[in-house]
A and B are shown apart, each in its own frame.
Chain A
Amino acid sequence: MLDTVFFYLFTLLTLGGAILTVATRNAVHSALFLITSLLGVAGLYLLLHAEFLFAVQIIVYVGGIMVLFLFVIMLVNLDAAAAQRQFSRMWPVALGCVALVGLELFYFLGKGEPAFRIAAPPPVPEPTAGNTERIADVLFSQYLLPFEIASLLLLVAVIGSVVMAKKRI
């Protein structure tokens, strides 16, 4: 019961924040509402017992990326942008897309849970350790290679951004 209450609370936070992000005129307000939305998602993770994702969501998105967004917004002069028309003339197209996705969603909801799954869900082992420990185990054993390769991805991104952005090389 309490779970359901929290679920709707977090959903409201997520969706409401997302709508206000695109609907407000002031860019700083938009960023703040986006933070609200991301916090709502973090809450949903917590409800799913994914404590690790919950912490990562808050530290990386809310703490890191959004602070960066706010910095950029404050550094760039957006007064001119605020005076421009806010909604694109293409909104009927967007409405059509949203309607399509909504239709798809209702179709699958109508078919029920089996429509989403073809293999039996993998057996969930008795939780001998918390969620975070189990993620660490998988990350450093089975998924060791993707985890290490991701560091190469970051290296390429760093070198690339320096090459593109440095004043004089």
Chain B
Amino acid sequence: MLDSFIPSWAELLRFMPEIILSLVGSLLVMLEPVTGPKSKSMLGHVAIAGLIVALGATFVAHANPGAAFSSMIVVDGFATFFRVIVFTVGILTIFSSYQYLDREGSNRGEYYALILFSVVGQSVMVVANELIMIFIGLEISSIATYVLAGFLRDDKRNNESAIKYFLLGSFATGFLLYGIALIYGATGTTDLGEVRQAVLQSAEPPVLLLSVAAGLMFIGLGFKVSGAPFQMWTPDVYQGAPTPVTAFMSAGPKAAAFAIFLRIFVTVFESVGDRWEPLIWASALASMTIGNFAALQQKNFKRLLAYSSIAHAGYVLVALTARSEIGTASAMFYLAAYALMNMGAFAVIAHVAGKGETTVDVSDFAGLGAKQPVTAALLTIFMLSLIGVPLTGGFFGKFYIFKAALESKLLWLAILGLLNSAVAAYYYLRVLVVMYMEEPSARTENLEPMPMSLQAALWLPAAGVLFLGIFPSAVLEFASASARLLGQ
């Protein structure tokens, strides 16, 4: 009996990215005391190397798909897609962190270790095929992110950000757990495949009980993806956290949370879909409207992007409302594009912010176009992509989402969503106007040149956004194929 539970090599291979990252993370914590204060950046290089190896291991694992560890995890196209997103987000975060941490005088090994552990948590979430695994992955990711949000302990806004994120995040996890408990109570299993079978096969499913369970899980996940009406924490947390961490929070944990959202709602609860569809419909519309209209009035750039991130969660929720293969595929594509453009935009903010993040208002970016034309050009690409202008990844993301909505006969949601993105264009374009047409501000007047690491954090996502905008078909085909397999 024991032999059958000793994991085979193939099973270990499917879990190898997480194993590698856990080992590298632990290694960083052990290396931290023996490295001198000047060579902490070396630990960041180790972390990036670990993430790149993990990225390689992801593709090796993908060559050999299937379930592992008593089907606790499943490696499929969907999992691979999101693994690549969260690992890339991890690499970009570390690139944009070096200069920031040095400037704030807290370049420490624990920072890089926590980033890696958070990425492991997200990676566990996206490969999990079991509610308990999802929960543990979510907690690993969240706890590491709570600490990262308050990493500069002497900064008041960091403290505010961390405590708000921690309290509301723990609260939200509680709701998710109640939902999981109800599902276990109803079906006697936490395995997603078995839950799906139980829901499909029962002659008379207790729709009310399932709806309550789905509702509770929606509350928990809604908090994590900052979808309305659970978006209140987002602006304060995003504004207060160190800028590279804000970038990380808005891309990695959000993509992973949407991944489990898709896995649970579109596959497991598919057969009771008409019950939860109105809920997500309303949430999508509210997220888009609240996010875009609140962003119009923001002066602080980080706060502006926080509200924009609520709006973008709304667009992805539109894709979920479509409840179709193309809906799932468009959500995946959008999350990839969004992660890239948001990481890039926040990297520019991290550059301009200055010590203690004193210059993060939109007006502080005045004259950036004249002083650092390359930085300004790259920020322009990200802003245009966030608007959804053709030739950028954001355009095809929005295009496929609204196409999916129309195909699922969600005419009104698509119209209101499109109107919303027109509103959004105003505040993104305002940034460009300030940047190119106004006299240089005190900050841009004597802006230090951009270090190599930060350049990498800008050029890589810019290249990615343009690639997704010009050659979307390769990525979209992969996403569609994964979405098709997911529904089976």
Chain A positions near chain B (C-beta within 8 angstroms): 104, 108, 114-119, 121-122, 140-146, 149-150, 152-153, 155-157, 159-160, 162-164, 169
* Residue B199, interface by CB 8 Å: yes
Evaluate contact between B144 and A145: CB separation under 8 angstroms: no
Evaluate contact between A122 and B70: CB separation under 8 angstroms: no
Bound CA span A89–B329, Å: 48
Bound CA span A119–B199, Å: 8
Of A117, A119, A150, A160, the contact of B147 (CB 8 Å cutoff)? A160
Shortest Cβ gap from B124 to chain A (Å)? 6
Which residues does chain A contribute within 8 Å of B199, judged by CB atoms? 118
Sorted nearest first, the 7 A-B pairs with minimum C-beta distance are A160-B147, A119-B198, A118-B202, A145-B69, A141-B5, A142-B70, A145-B72
Evaluate contact between B69 and A116: CB separation under 8 angstroms: no
What is the predominant secondary structure among interface residues of chain A facing chain B?
Answer: helix
Q: List 22 A-B contacts (CB under 8 A).
A: A104-B212, A115-B206, A115-B209, A116-B186, A116-B206, A117-B188, A118-B198, A118-B205, A118-B210, A119-B187, A143-B70, A143-B72, A145-B72, A149-B140, A150-B136, A152-B117, A153-B140, A155-B26, A156-B121, A163-B147, A164-B147, A164-B162
Evaluate contact between A164 and B136: CB separation under 8 angstroms: no
Q: Which residue of B lies closest to A118 (CB)?
A: B202
* Residue B325, interface by CB 8 Å: no
Known interface pairs A145-B73, A163-B114, A164-B150; 8 further A-B residue pairs with C-beta atoms within 8 A, sorted by A's residue number = A116-B209, A117-B186, A117-B187, A118-B199, A119-B188, A143-B132, A144-B70, A150-B136
* Residue B76, interface by CB 8 Å: no
Q: Which residue of B lies closest to A115 (CB)?
A: B206
Which residues does chain A contribute within 8 Å of B110, judged by CB atoms? 159, 162-163, 169
Q: Which residue of A lies closest to B197 (CB)?
A: A119
Shortest Cβ gap from A147 to chain B (Å)? 9
Q: Which residue of A lies closest to B113 (CB)?
A: A159
* Residue B364, interface by CB 8 Å: no
* Residue B315, interface by CB 8 Å: no
Given the known inter-chain contacts A145-B133, A149-B133, A163-B147, please indicate yes or no for A155 contacting B117, CB distance below 8 A.
Answer: yes
Bound CA span A114–B185, Å: 11
Q: Which residue of A lies closest to B150 (CB)?
A: A164
Evaluate contact between B132 and A144: CB separation under 8 angstroms: no
Which residues does chain B contribute within 8 Å of A169, judged by CB atoms? 108, 110
Which residues does chain B contribute within 8 Å of A152, judged by CB atoms? 22, 117, 120-121, 140
The interface size of chain B toward A, counting residues with CB under 8 Å, comes to 50
Shortest Cβ gap from A9 to chain B (Å)? 25
Shortest Cβ gap from B271 to chain A (Å)? 11
Given the known inter-chain contacts A118-B187, A145-B133, A149-B136, please indicate yes or no for A156 contacting B209, CB distance below 8 A.
Answer: no
Evaluate contact between A156 and B108: CB separation under 8 angstroms: no
Bound CA span A119–B196, Å: 11
Which of A114, A141, A159 has the most CB atoms of chain B within a 10 A radius of its CB? A159
Which residues does chain B contribute within 8 Å of A156, judged by CB atoms? 114, 117, 121, 140, 143-144, 147
Bound CA span A22–B5, Å: 47
Shortest Cβ gap from B21 to chain A (Å)? 10
* Residue B160, interface by CB 8 Å: no
Question: Interface digits, B106-129 against A, CB 8 Å rule (1 contact, 0 not)?
Answer: 001010011001001100100000
Evaluate contact between B206 and A159: CB separation under 8 angstroms: no
Evaluate contact between B140 and A159: CB separation under 8 angstroms: no
Which residues does chain B contribute within 8 Å of A108, judged by CB atoms? 209
Evaluate contact between B113 and A116: CB separation under 8 angstroms: no
Evaluate contact between B209 and A146: CB separation under 8 angstroms: no
Bound CA span A39–B9, Å: 45
Evaluate contact between B114 and A159: CB separation under 8 angstroms: yes
Given the known inter-chain contacts A145-B133, A146-B130, A153-B136, please indicate yes or no for A159 contacting B29, CB distance below 8 A.
Answer: yes
Evaluate contact between B114 and A164: CB separation under 8 angstroms: no
Bound CA span A122–B186, Å: 12
Which of A143, A149, A160 has the most CB atoms of chain B within a 10 A radius of its CB? A149
Which of A108, A145, A162 has the most CB atoms of chain B within a 10 A radius of its CB? A145
Q: Which residue of A lies closest to B108 (CB)?
A: A169
Which residues does chain A contribute within 8 Å of B136, judged by CB atoms? 146, 149-150, 153
* Residue B396, interface by CB 8 Å: no
Q: Which residue of B lies closest to A161 (CB)?
A: B147
Which residues does chain A contribute within 8 Å of B113, judged by CB atoms? 159
Shortest Cβ gap from A94 to chain B (Å)? 15
Evaluate contact between B72 and A118: CB separation under 8 angstroms: no
* Residue B146, interface by CB 8 Å: yes
Which of A117, A118, A155, A164 has the most CB atoms of chain B within a 10 A radius of its CB? A118
Bound CA span A114–B204, Å: 10
* Residue B400, interface by CB 8 Å: no
Bound CA span A86–B122, Å: 41
* Residue B291, interface by CB 8 Å: no
Bound CA span A166–B72, Å: 37
* Residue B372, interface by CB 8 Å: no
Evaluate contact between B209 and A149: CB separation under 8 angstroms: no
Shortest Cβ gap from B34 to chain A (Å)? 15
Which residues does chain B contribute within 8 Å of A118, judged by CB atoms? 186-187, 198-199, 202, 205-206, 209-210
Q: Which residue of B lies closest to A122 (CB)?
A: B188
Question: Interface digits, B160-199 against A, CB 8 Å rule (1 contact, 0 not)?
Answer: 0010000000000000000000000111110000000011
Bound CA span A121–B189, Å: 9
Which residues does chain A contribute within 8 Å of B188, judged by CB atoms? 117, 119, 121-122
Bound CA span A48–B136, Å: 26
Which residues does chain A contribute within 8 Å of B137, judged by CB atoms? 149
